[in-house]
Amino acid sequence: MAGTQEAQTRPVKDWLRRLGTRIGLGIAVLGLGSCTPTSRPQLPVALNSYYTDEQPAMSGDGRFLAFVSNRDGTRSILLYDLQRKQFAQLPRLNRKDAIAETPSLSYTGRYLVYVASDRGRPEIELYDRITQRTQVLTGGYRGWVRNPNISSDGRYVVFETGRRGQWDIEIIDRGPGIELDRPNGS
């Protein structure tokens, strides 16, 4: 009789123990999840790799460095934070079916301009790190383009054009309506 009673309560105890473990784990996961952004110290990451890292472009404030890297079996534009010694994410910038070259940054690195191949045609594109959107600046432009460079406030983009049968310089004005990339408080 005592044996059967024990046999009946053991599954209940086991179940309670498992439930307890699950709740415990759940709390632990929740705790970890909420702490991750602030409490986990990130180790410094190297800027260079054992593959080609080239075409460096400093942000105006000197904090960020955009460059082109051949690491990880892909040619991509990367953004390195010299202050935190970490890479900053550039969601949706690098595409699997295209190559981007010659990056340039605005003051805080909000705007990034570069040349990308779009259906076999070089285009100057602008990536906004806040909206994570890309804009083609030379859509419909007749002529070869290369080496774009953006002003610190993000309004002007200079680039080389082959339109007159040799390399010359053109200036794009993004207009007074854009959000300027300026130092804090100015």
Residues that bind another protein (CB under 8 A): 44-62, 65, 67, 82, 85, 107, 137, 141, 147, 149-152, 156-160, 166-175, 177-178
Task: State which residue, 15 or 167, has the beta carbon closest to another protein.
Answer: 167
Task: State which residue, 31 or 62, has the beta carbon closest to another protein.
Answer: 62
In angstroms, what is the minimal distance from the CB of 124 to another protein? 10
Read off the DSSP letter of residue 71: G
Task: State which residue, 1 or 133, has the beta carbon closest to another protein.
Answer: 133
- As a whole number of angstroms, the distance between CA 163 and CA 28 comes to 62
Q: How are the residues of the chain apportioned to helix, strand and coil, as percentages rounded to the nearest 5?
A: 20, 35, 45
Task: State which residue, 23 or 82, has the beta carbon closest to another protein.
Answer: 82
Provide CB contacts within 8 A for 100, sequence distance 6+. 68, 75, 76, 77, 93, 94, 114, 115, 116, 125
Long-range contacts (CB closer than 8 Å, 24 or more residues apart) made by 28-35: none
Task: State which residue, 33 or 179, has the beta carbon closest to another protein.
Answer: 179
In angstroms, what is the minimal distance from the CB of 76 to another protein? 14
- As a whole number of angstroms, the distance between CA 2 and CA 53 comes to 74
In angstroms, what is the minimal distance from the CB of 123 to another protein? 12
In angstroms, what is the minimal distance from the CB of 50 to another protein? 6
In angstroms, what is the minimal distance from the CB of 147 to another protein? 6
- As a whole number of angstroms, the distance between CA 166 and CA 152 comes to 27
Cβ neighbours around 105 below 10 Å, total: 27
